[in-house]
Amino acid sequence: MTKTILRALAGETLPTPPIWMMRQAGRYLPEYRATRAEAGDFLSLCYNSELAAEVTLQPIRRYGFDAAILFADILLLPQALGVDLWFVTGEGPRMTTVTTQGEFDALGKGAMIHDTLNPIYETVRILRRELPEETTLIGFAGAPWTVATYMIAGQGTKDQGPAHALKAENRALFEALIDRLTESTIDYLDEQVKAGAEVVKIFDSWAGSLNGEDFDKYATEPARIITQELKARHPGLPVIAFPRQGGDKYIGFHKATGADCVALDDSVSPEWAAAHVQVDGCVQGNLASSHMVTGGQALVDETRKVVDALSNGPHIFNLGHGITPDADPENVQLMIDTVRGK
């Protein structure tokens, strides 16, 4: 029998939606924290293929999710392009910036990214061997706009202000960076698929800060180019797109990009999504991740609400954003049991 995730991505409405969870391998799990300590630091964990595969497998062993998502980070790609990347404990990523023509010209391109990223492909190969037969393996990358916001600012920002400023002040340089990231993302995901990823997901975490035509040009269009080229190289490859906080721009995103599934954050209701987005294909989401912290009857009620609202079309159950480090692992089990009607 075809894997449930692949069936949903192909447009099938299933009696019980398949389920996985963004950041399901992560700090809320004690076994993850132990493995990360063994690795030494976050980047060392990402580049240690055996340990990265181990933390990817941990939530599958514990919960039996229908999919595993490769453990990596969206900022490994800019590192592979030549940007210096490090993580500050308690504060997150820091990187050297790309805000001038000279800094852009110093970036690499083409096959050179694979020299850095080969350990990630090896993680995929290990996972393809070790995952249960029924579990789908998802590869991923950050979308060009979201990755560019970090490269331009040198860190995460609340409003993506530095990227918007560069876009306004030097549109040619900004668009060159978006184009370079689009090309490199295609090559990165292509290698993940060659290594064994069965689905790929494009995370545009900061898509919601793009408005109007900018959303179309810098969120929708790169997703379309990446999706179409990957499908040309790998016919039948399912693609999940996540233009987070896209709001009304979620409408028509399937058709505009060719994505098989549009993932939804929890700023839109599942009823709205059923009426406006699911009509075009599979949707993924969209329980608020805060329920993984608070639990209780509200978790059960909201989980059922999402399942019921999206039950008349293809649906992959997930959170509206990644699970947070303060989540209770028992609440994850409660969510799964609720979705599966136990």
Domains of the chain by range and CATH? Answer: 7-24+269-342 (no CATH), 71-263 (3.20.20.210)
Q: What per-residue confidence (pLDDT) applies to 330?
A: 98
Q: What per-residue confidence (pLDDT) applies to 89?
A: 83
Which are the contacts of 151, defined by CB distance < 8 A and separation ≥ 6? 78, 83, 95, 97, 98, 177
**Cα dihedral 48, 123, 61, 138 sign:** positive
Q: What per-residue confidence (pLDDT) applies to 241?
A: 98
- Told to judge if 301 belongs to the known catalytic residues of this protein, a careful annotator would answer no
Tokens of 72: 């990596």
User: Can you tell me the distance from the alpha carbon of 68 to that of 135, in angstroms, rounded to the nearest whole number?
Assistant: 7
244 three-state secondary structure: coil
Residue burial 126-158, b: 16+ Cβ < 10 Å; e: rest: bbeeebeeebbbbbbbbbbbbbbbbbbbbebbe
Q: What per-residue confidence (pLDDT) applies to 208?
A: 98
pTM of the model: 0.97
Most distant CA pair in the chain, distance: 58
CA–centroid distance for 283 within its chain: 14
User: Can you tell me the distance from the alpha carbon of 200 to that of 261, in angstroms, rounded to the nearest whole number?
Assistant: 10
One-letter amino acid at 299 equals L
One-letter amino acid at 276 equals H
**Residues 43, 75 contacting (CB under 8 angstroms):** no
One-letter amino acid at 131 equals L
**Residues 17, 310 contacting (CB under 8 angstroms):** yes
User: Can you tell me the distance from the alpha carbon of 177 to that of 150, in angstroms, rounded to the nearest whole number?
Assistant: 12
- Told to judge if 23 belongs to the known catalytic residues of this protein, a careful annotator would answer yes
If you search the block for the tokens 């995929």, which residue do you land on? 124
- Told to judge if 244 belongs to the known catalytic residues of this protein, a careful annotator would answer no
- Told to judge if 73 belongs to the known catalytic residues of this protein, a careful annotator would answer yes
Determine which one of 7, 27, 233, 340 is catalytic. Answer: 27
Q: Would you tell me how many other CB atoms lie within 10 Å of the CB of residue 330?
A: 10
Q: What per-residue confidence (pLDDT) applies to 1?
A: 63
Tokens of 87: 């993580």
Q: What per-residue confidence (pLDDT) applies to 300?
A: 98
Residue 42's H or E segment, with its range, is helix 42-47
Determine which one of 36, 94, 128, 340 is catalytic. Answer: 36
Q: What per-residue confidence (pLDDT) applies to 90?
A: 83
- Told to judge if 36 belongs to the known catalytic residues of this protein, a careful annotator would answer yes
If you search the block for the tokens 């997930």, which residue do you land on? 318
If you search the block for the tokens 């229908």, which residue do you land on? 66
Q: What per-residue confidence (pLDDT) applies to 109?
A: 85
Mean pLDDT per 10-residue segment, the chain (342 residues): 93 98 97 96 97 98 98 98 93 96 94 96 98 98 98 97 98 98 98 98 98 97 98 98 98 98 98 98 98 98 98 98 97 98 87
Determine which one of 47, 121, 150, 250 is catalytic. Answer: 150
Determine which one of 33, 62, 73, 340 is catalytic. Answer: 73
Q: What per-residue confidence (pLDDT) applies to 342?
A: 80
Tokens of 180: 């370079």
